Amino acid sequence: MGSLHNASTEQLQALDAQHHLHPFTDTRALNAKGTKVIKRAEGVYLWDSDDQKFLDGMAGLWCVNVGYGRREILDAAYQQMEQLPYYNSFFQTSHPPAIELAARIAEVTPPQFSRVFFCGSGSEANDTVVRMVRHYWSAVGQPDKKVIISRENAYHGSTMAGASLGGMKPMHAQGGLPIPDIEHIMQPHWFINGFDETPEDFGLRAAQALEERILAVGPERVAAFIGEPVQGAGGVIVPPDTYWPEIQRICKAYDILLVADEVICGFGRTGNWFGSNTFDIEADLLAIAKGLSSGYLPIGGVVVSDKVAEGLEAGGDFNHGYTYSGHPACAAAALANIELMQRERIVESAGDSIAPYFQKRLAEFAEHPLIGQVRGVGLLGALQLVPDKPSNTPFAKGGVVGTVCREHCIRNGLVMRAVDDAMILSPPLVISESEIDELFDKARRSIDQTLDDYRNSRIDFS
């Protein structure tokens, strides 16, 4: 425990402002306001440095799937650190936690997968994906297959390749992105891009954008398509039912690898072990992180189908890896996390009973005057705030109302994220029905307060 354990909120905020640069943050604005300091957590709850309690509707950053404070994971990491805190897996060496975790991942992933390449995060996983699929095509004699097609508004991480794969315009605007040979097609966001069509027609049209782009680029140059089964950071965008089968057909027809970015959707989030199970996607590679260790320690990986693994083996050395690939303590924590999920049937009970209850309570918001669309699957949910319910017209200045609503949530003891004007939920999978009731009571109060602010012109759109 550091020496600041008993420091006041003001002391912590001052020191934070002086020395700490935060991710995705306007530093000047944050420092003027002061950061919220989170000090401890248990189950689905967080406490800040003023001892205010919050229900964590976001499972940290979509990752604490088994909830906070699970002793089994702490013990596993501690014991591993006592025995072997670090060793690498580069020079023909390995160690038990990485070996066992790799085997366990093969057990829970769909049947075409039996190998994993470890890294430290979701971003590193997607950087690995870029190098791996290009190396694969080169190894099997098609070195011109380099182009990777992704979607607008996708999120695949913050490293150079991860952010290039992602389709977030503000990210591309900084640091000279995207890197070459990355293409983006439209997102399958019916409410924003297809409101005048049936969801089924729109889903087909959004998927066929892939075929059009493959033909424009030339199939002999396209290496892979990457997509999150449900776009998370883009706003919990659940694609229409017609979308993934059509994407699958197109990838097969043009011999394009299909990469499912399971960083959010993996490890139970959509009600099954993987988003690929929920949407019946037969992927060639999976990017994993977050729920792999429930966020207790940083670890990610790329799970590789047997077909891709065989191609890679034919290519000799793969000149890629990280000091912390398969880090022993992180691997031990991830293994304990998966064992916990299996032993307590956390994914199955989330899928069978908790997720349906969560979706039922979420759906009640469809009647709310400020909500234009409710989206969700498993333990993912989004409430789209709109000024004019019958039309899908968004607020003239996006993100303002969402921020107001998020602030109300915080005041009401709920962590809910705003993606522009969509309010996002992704609670721990172990949330109980009564905690779900508490979550939605707080969400309703916050949305009612936001509506009241809007109707009484208390929201500053300038």
Ligand X SMILES: Cc1ncc(COP(=O)(O)O)c(C=O)c1O
The residue (of 80 and 126) whose beta carbon lies closer to ligand X is: 126
Query: Among all residues, whose Cβ is closest to ligand X?
Result: 122
The residue (of 292 and 447) whose beta carbon lies closer to ligand X is: 292
Kindly state the smallest distance separating residue 103's Cβ from ligand X, in Å.
Answer: 23
Long-range CB pairs of 198-204, under 8 A, 24+ apart, other chains included: 199/240, 199/241, 199/242, 200/240, 200/241, 200/242, 201/242, 202/240, 203/239, 203/240, 203/241, 203/242, 203/243, 203/246, 204/242, 204/243, 204/246
The residue (of 128 and 450) whose beta carbon lies closer to ligand X is: 128
User: Judged by CB under 6 A, which of 230, 264, 330, 338 binds ligand X?
Assistant: 264
Is-contact 179 172, C-beta < 8 A? no
Query: Which residue from 46, 45, 65 is spatially nearest to 334, judged by alpha carbons?
Result: 65
**Parallel, antiparallel or unpaired: strands 380-385 and 182-185:** unpaired
17-54 residues labelled b (16+ CB within 10 A) or e (exposed)? beeeeeeeeeeeebbeeebebeeebebbbbeebeeeeb
Spell out, one character per residue from 369 to 398, where the chain touches ligand X: x when CB under 6 A holds, - when not: ------------------------------
Instruction: Report how many residues bind ligand X under the rule CB under 6 A.
Output: 14
Contact status: 325 vs ligand X (CB under 6 A): no
Kindly state the smallest distance separating residue 265's Cβ from ligand X, in Å.
Answer: 8
Segment near ligand X (CB under 6 A), from 117-125, 186-194, 209-217, 318-326? 117-125
Q: Rounded to whole angstroms, what are the CA distances from 11 to 29, 32, 47, 48, 402?
A: 18, 14, 17, 14, 30
Contact status: 123 vs ligand X (CB under 6 A): yes
The residue (of 157 and 378) whose beta carbon lies closer to ligand X is: 157
Please name the amino acid found at residue 237.
I
Contact status: 327 vs ligand X (CB under 6 A): no
Segment near ligand X (CB under 6 A), from 96-104, 153-161, 353-361, 389-397? 153-161
Contact status: 435 vs ligand X (CB under 6 A): no
For residues 35 and 22, what is the distance between their CA atoms, to the nearest angstrom? Answer: 10
Task: Look up residue 396 and give its two tokens.
Answer: 């003239």
Please name the amino acid found at residue 226.
I
For residues 237 and 232, what is the distance between their CA atoms, to the nearest angstrom? Answer: 7
Spell out, one character per residue from 2 to 21, where the chain touches ligand X: x when CB under 6 A holds, - when not: --------------------
Contact status: 121 vs ligand X (CB under 6 A): yes
The residue (of 266 and 351) whose beta carbon lies closer to ligand X is: 266
For residues 351 and 289, what is the distance between their CA atoms, to the nearest angstrom? Answer: 20
Kindly state the smallest distance separating residue 420's Cβ from ligand X, in Å.
Answer: 16
The residue (of 67 and 122) whose beta carbon lies closer to ligand X is: 122
User: Judged by CB under 6 A, which of 122, 178, 240, 268 binds ligand X?
Assistant: 122
Burial of 431 (0-12, 13-18, 19+ CB in 10 A): buried
Half-sphere exposure of 355 (CA within 13 A, CB side): 22
Contact status: 157 vs ligand X (CB under 6 A): yes
User: Judged by CB under 6 A, which of 46, 108, 289, 383 binds ligand X?
Assistant: 289
Segment near ligand X (CB under 6 A), from 187-195, 201-209, 257-265, 340-348? 257-265
Contact status: 155 vs ligand X (CB under 6 A): yes
Contact status: 156 vs ligand X (CB under 6 A): yes
Chain residues 221-240 in contact with ligand X, contact rule CB under 6 A: 228, 232-233
The residue (of 66 and 237) whose beta carbon lies closer to ligand X is: 237
Contact status: 263 vs ligand X (CB under 6 A): yes
Kindly state the smallest distance separating residue 331's Cβ from ligand X, in Å.
Answer: 16
Kindly state the smallest distance separating residue 170's Cβ from ligand X, in Å.
Answer: 15
Contact status: 211 vs ligand X (CB under 6 A): no
Segment near ligand X (CB under 6 A), from 95-103, 258-266, 372-380, 452-460? 258-266
Contact status: 188 vs ligand X (CB under 6 A): no
Task: Look up residue 113 and give its two tokens.
Answer: 């997968």
Kindly state the smallest distance separating residue 53's Cβ from ligand X, in Å.
Answer: 25
Contact status: 127 vs ligand X (CB under 6 A): no
User: Judged by CB under 6 A, which of 261, 284, 421, 435 binds ligand X?
Assistant: 261
Residues lying near ligand X in the complex (CB under 6 A) = 121-123, 126, 155-157, 228, 232-233, 261, 263-264, 289
